Every structure is written in structure tokens, then in C-alpha cells.
Amino acid sequence: GKFRPNDYFYNYFRLGVDILIDGEKHDVKKFVLHTNLPSHPLFSKYDRCNFQVQVQGENPERGLDTVINFKSDWKDVTRLLGEPIGKPVVLDLSADHTQNPFGPSSFCGYQNMIFEITNGYKIASVCLFKE
């Protein structure tokens, strides 16, 4: 069979960003932006990424802010983008017998974006990708 190089990550903990690189073309496939929430199991592993993502809101003529940033919460996202595509995927890190007092996270998808949401409806991370 044909050899296909593996995709690889660059992790920038001090910037709060992970970047997935295509192993064959060596271009960016995905960015993961971390908010460094105190209520998240990865708290203090990453510094906060002070991101701002410009989005095309569901109803831009209402004059709503069309930026999602590291301080936004889940209500802000759904107000701008509407309901996510499909049901959330739940990640429970305590299922592997480790201590996780924060509860599970939910991953909710939109076109070219996936939001990791904590039990407190805060954004823990945003994944931006090309289809």
C-alpha cells in the first residue's frame, strides 16, 4: 500500500493553542483554542488563548455582536449561531478511574467549529477546522 505520513500536532501551552498539521501536505487542518477555565481538568496546563472568532450570526440585522471570544459562554454561542448540529458528544474523564471533580464536558458542533462546554455552560475550548 501507499505510505501516508501521519498528521501531527504542535502544542503551544504558553499560548493556549494546539495546531493539527496535515502529515502529507504540511498545512494546517485544525486549531484548538483553550480558555484555561479553573473548572476544567486541563486548568493550568495551558495558558488562556485570548481568542476572538468572527462569526456569521443567525440574524445579523438584529445588531448582535458577532464575535465569540474566550469570555463568551454557551448562551452567547447559541444566541449567535442557533442550535448546534446534532446532539452533543459527552466526554467524562472520570470514566477512566481518575479524579475529576468538574464533571463531564460536552462537545457541540457547528460548521467548521466544535465547542467544548463545561457543566457550568462555559467554553473550555474551541476547535476551528476546514471541511
**pLDDT reading at 59 higher than 70:** no
Q: Is residue 2 part of a domain?
A: no
The verdict on residue 108 lying in a domain is: yes
pLDDT, greater one: 52 or 100: 52
**Residue 1, in any domain of the structure:** no
CB of 34 closer than 8 Å to CB of 48: yes
Mean pLDDT of 31-43: 80
**What is the model's pLDDT at position 47?**
86
- Contacts of residue 47, Cβ cutoff 8 Å, sequence gap at least 6: 13, 14, 15, 16, 34, 36
Domain around 116: 8-129
The confidence score (pLDDT) of residue 58 equals 57
Phi, psi of 78 (to 5 degrees): -70, -30
The count of structural domains within the chain is 1
